[in-house]
Homo-oligomer: A and B are copies of this chain.
Amino acid sequence: MAKAADVYFSVDPWKIVEEGFNPAYSRVSESVFSLANETMGVRGCFDEGGSVDSLRGAYVNGVYDIERLGRSYRGIVDRTHFMIPAAEWLMTEITLDGEKLDLGRVRFRDFRREMDMRDGTLTRSFIWRTSTGKELRLRFLRFVDMTHRERAYQRIVMEPLNFSGTVEFSSGLSFDTVHEGYRKCFWHSARVEAENGRLMAQARTALSGQEVFAGALLNLPGAAAAHPTDKTVFLRASLSLEEGKETRVDKRVVILFDGREGESLWQSGREALAACDAVPPEEALQAQKDYWADYWRTSDVQIEAAEGSAAAVAMEQQGIRFCSFQLAQIYNGGSMRHNIGAKGLTGEAYNGHAFWDTEACCLPFYLFTNPQAARDLLLFRYNTLPLALERAKMLDCQGACYPLATLNGEEACSLWQHASLQLQPSTAVAYGVWHYTHVTGDWDFLYDYGAEMLLQISRFLASRVEKGGRTGKYGFFGVMGPDEFHMMVNNNAYTNYMGKRTLDCAVETLDRMRRERPLAYAALVDKTALNEGEILRWREIADQMYIPQDAAGLIEQHDDFFNLPHTDINAIPISEFPLYEHWSYDRIYRSDMIKQPDVLMMLYLYSTSFSETEKRVNYEFYEPRTIHESSLSPAIHSILAAELGKMEEAIRFFGFATRLDLDNYNRNTREGLHVTSIAMAWANIVYGFAGLRSDGEGLRFAPRLPDRWKRLRFSVLYRGRVIQLCMERDGTRFLLSQGDRLEVQVYGRPYTLSGEETRVPCQ
């Protein structure tokens, strides 16, 4: 593990704090200080812009444009789509004595920026000293409204310390926003307007034809309007400031993206602005505080340090809250039109695309903190089922093939080797449907939506599977498993196993649905033209799926994996990571070095179906061959290591889980946050150290407290109950703060939880 912390921010249980500004760290800070409310997101950029290095990004969930890629071979996408920056609404210019505020150029002191996770606000303050010797204290505050998702707020407070006089102040809205990778603005046909205290702008993307309205209300009496470009609009005013007194400019922003267009959208925008105008900013801020307080009541993870570990544990405590905070910002079930981008709304890397990380890594967090959001994530897949059906056809298959990377349900991955060979997006959706239903018992969801997805995914798998190979059994040929360092392999164990489980689940679900919901079943059969023969075939395939495993339980990752040349991964110099940048592309694919858990991934997902011996044998074989080029990798290893009692390894892998981005472990936080990876930080604690398993009968726990922790407390929601856990060195206390008694297993023994505390001694 070549990764090391790059500690920059101050440690605080509830805040992320930057004291003093380091320009070289500017983009990392911008990513970390990202705010979002699922509907919109904004990086922690300086309101006044300026010459500091910056990826100036204000994004709207679901807003993208399209690039046509030209024709290639069949089944290879000929167009892709990518998130683009939407309206810039922070835009501010402040000039004093002819000197423009630009932290890359002016003198300033007492710089402090902090994000408070208790209310989702970002504040920044400093004292600007002009070349004429005037000192102006500035405080910027912003938040995006969690209760009215179309709203955002900016406040700028100015206090002259040693003068009274005038500053030139202007505040704007702009669609002149450039996608950094494409170096291009994708917005066209803009309309802008400014009137008394109000700015409005609306624009349309070139190829996707999406239209967005942006409006702002400003308390800037007597301001004049300006339109420097046809996509930008400003209000400008001279503000008279008085020494020692605060002058405050509030900007209330509305961003609308709801499918409406043209005049209709413009009018909705005006109405939304009027509605926003009716709410004083202080009231909005209070609602915001209430929202987050409520969130933390059920979703907090509290870690207390054992003696001598205060510093390390304080960092973990801050880290896990940051992960939880960012996840809840990026997705909380506000809309089933959204999924979770690998970078959320915090940067343009990965093009805003969601991957199978959603179902494989993020879903547990939502299942146990916000089951409605988990359901909405799966509804995103249901709503995009028609596109998955199309995609399967492109691949000469039947049924539904879910995309590797997408914003809108269409396959956006232009690397055919990933898009065409990885079946895990589809099996992950099936896993998600199963896991969600299994944990929540939401049979309505299963029959109304899940069954159809399971059916179509099974159809896809049955049309993609081959019979043959060494054993004459079924298997998938020419695939890429989760370990992306082995391309176009045969009988990848993960793919075969996940395929088998998907088929099993589909058969079982349809069987049960036929009995329990015969009318719905008939309608589904009708809609999908399902015939009995298909189900029989799925059963046969599942029964005869080839899972290569030796007598000791070791599973071969794919055909002939054991015969690959060996790479001593410890002999690779740190300077050669990441390998994709330092090694010739083809060189990565030639040995037994693996990128991320593959066999181990299935042992994690279907944990209860494998014995401890199987986990141990495979862990001990594959772990030393894994270089963790995926940031998801260490957490999976940590969870398995904890289960196997390898607590030192578990802690080592856990090392950066909670602070991956806060401490810029991968040295690429500047591009945005690793949103799906930070989801695994939560799983690392709950599945790893509390030993939660949710894939078997009921819930199972096996708490194993790391040495440096004195106490770990968190709650999980489960079928209408709130289960509170308090893990301590000598044992764990369970308490239902809400809901009926519940039978669970702890260390393999049954316990009944209730409103009374249940104590289970440590094992």
Contacts and interface: CB of A to CB of B under 8 A. Distances in A.
Interface string A456-491: 000000000011111000000110000000011010
Interface string A399-425: 000000000000000001100110000
The A interface is mostly helix, strand or loop, or mixed, namely: loop
A76 B395 contact: no
Which of A395, A467, A488, A559 gathers most chain B CB within 10 Å? A488
Interface stretch (A251-259, A560-568, A696-704): A560-568
Interface stretch (A577-585, A644-652, A755-763): A577-585
Contact of A416 (B466, B564, B586): B586
Interface in A257-302: none
Contact of A477 (B420, B488, B590): B590
B563 A74 contact: no
Interface string A68-92: 0000111110000000000000000
Which of A394, A466, A565, A582 gathers most chain B CB within 10 Å? A565
Contacts of A487: 488
B395 A469 contact: no
Contact of A75 (B416, B467, B586): B586
Nearest to A393: B584
A12 interface: no
A602 to B, nearest CB: 22
B468 A586 contact: no
A589 B395 contact: no
A587 interface: yes
A130 interface: no
B563 A468 contact: yes
Interface in A102-118: none
Contact of A466 (B421, B470, B559, B590): B590
Contacts of A563: 468-470, 490, 559
A421 B488 CA distance: 13
A442 interface: no
A478 B584 contact: no
Given A469-B564, A488-B487, A564-B477, A75 B587 contact: yes
Nearest to A489: B488
A73 B396 CA distance: 28
Contacts of A585: 72-76, 416, 420
Contacts of A589: 478, 488
Which of A421, A478, A487 gathers most chain B CB within 10 Å? A478
Interface residues of A, number: 40
A586 B466 contact: no
A87 to B, nearest CB: 29
A591 interface: yes
Contact of A590 (B76, B478, B582): B478
A416 to B, nearest CB: 6
Contact of A420 (B467, B468, B565, B584): B584
A582 B394 CA distance: 11
A470 B560 CA distance: 9
A586 B469 contact: no
A467 to B, nearest CB: 7
A661 B467 CA distance: 40
Contacts of A478: 586, 589-590
A8 to B, nearest CB: 29
Interface in A421-452: 421
Contacts of A73: 580, 584-585
25 contacts: A73-B580, A75-B584, A75-B586, A76-B585, A395-B584, A395-B587, A397-B584, A416-B586, A417-B417, A421-B586, A466-B591, A467-B565, A468-B564, A468-B565, A468-B566, A469-B563, A470-B560, A477-B564, A477-B565, A477-B590, A478-B590, A487-B488, A490-B560, A490-B564, A559-B560
Given A73-B580, A395-B586, 19 more contacts: A72-B585, A73-B584, A74-B580, A74-B583, A75-B586, A75-B587, A395-B587, A396-B584, A397-B584, A416-B585, A420-B586, A466-B590, A467-B565, A469-B564, A470-B563, A487-B488, A488-B586, A490-B560, A559-B560
